[in-house]
Amino acid sequence: MSLVDVFAQFGPLFVSGFEMTLILAASGFVTGFLLGVPISLAETYGFKPARWLAVAYVELIRGTPMLVQLFILYYALPQVGINLDAFTAAALGLGINSAAYQAEYFRGAILSIPAGQMEAAISVGLKKRQAILGIILPQSLRLVIPAWTNEVVYLVQYSSVAYLVTVMELTAVAGYVGARTFQYVPIYAVVALIYLATTLAIVRVSRHFEGRFAIPGLATSAAGRSG
């Protein structure tokens, strides 16, 4: 069977797998954002107990492999009566992992904003909470865009671990089709190109927003995941 025949026969399955990859990455990013922002605020402005809990969460998640976290959600939790379907476990695992990294991106962005802005806001009568939500947080959202680029790229790539809990994302589809056609090399080569094209598209779109929302005089939070 030629490569053309392979993709003619299994094309819809590859499209479905690619859609699942994007859905997993998007779900992980949104969950990471919703959890990461309050965690970063707790790290930066919270009382000691909240700060300790936030730091402990970040260090625990960043200090353990995502695959282990995913296995805990899908294989270990059922032993204590919590059953998650494969997609929910994968999306939640990506989100929990992303939250730890996004919290650090936001914390770095918040700390890069001059302290005088908070002092000025309080001096004109704003409460600390109002200053954080109305002045500090909106600026940090703009500063964190470069780091967000890295995070989305990583989530698209790391979504491939979901095949280990039976989610039929793009990498899982490649393995499934390869096992039936024995065209492993060309299939994985095409899948690699799909990941590459997706990454380049994400970076291109992000660069547009980065320039559009840049804050003059403030450095962006460009740090991303390492390793």
Query: Does the pLDDT of residue 208 top 90, yes or no?
Result: no
Contacts of 65 (CB under 8 A, 6+ apart): none
What are the pLDDT digits (tens) for 144-157?
988 888 999 999 99
Lowest mean pLDDT among 62-71, 112-121, 174-183, 217-226: 217-226
Range with lowest mean pLDDT among 28-32, 120-124, 156-160: 120-124
Q: What percent of the chain has a predicted confidence (pLDDT) above 70?
A: 93
**What would the pLDDT profile of 55-88 be if each residue is shown by its tens digit?**
999 999 999 999 999 999 999 999 999 999 999 9
* CATH number for domain 3-212, candidates 3.50.50.60, 3.30.1490.150, 1.10.3720.10, 3.30.470.10: 1.10.3720.10
Mean pLDDT on 112-136: 84
Q: What is the pLDDT of residue 162?
A: 94
> Mean pLDDT throughout 2-17?
87
pLDDT at position 227 over 50:
no
C-alpha of 30 from chain center: 8
List, for residues 17-41, the tens digit of each pLDDT value: 999 999 999 999 999 999 999 999 9
For residue 161, name the pLDDT band (cuts at 50, 70, 90). very high
Average per-residue pLDDT for the chain: 89
pLDDT for position 60: 96
What's the confidence (pLDDT) of residue 216? 61
Location of structure tokens 């959600």: 73
- Distance CA(33)–CA(102), nearest Å, equals 7
For the chain, the farthest-separated pair of C-alpha atoms sits apart, in whole angstroms, at 74
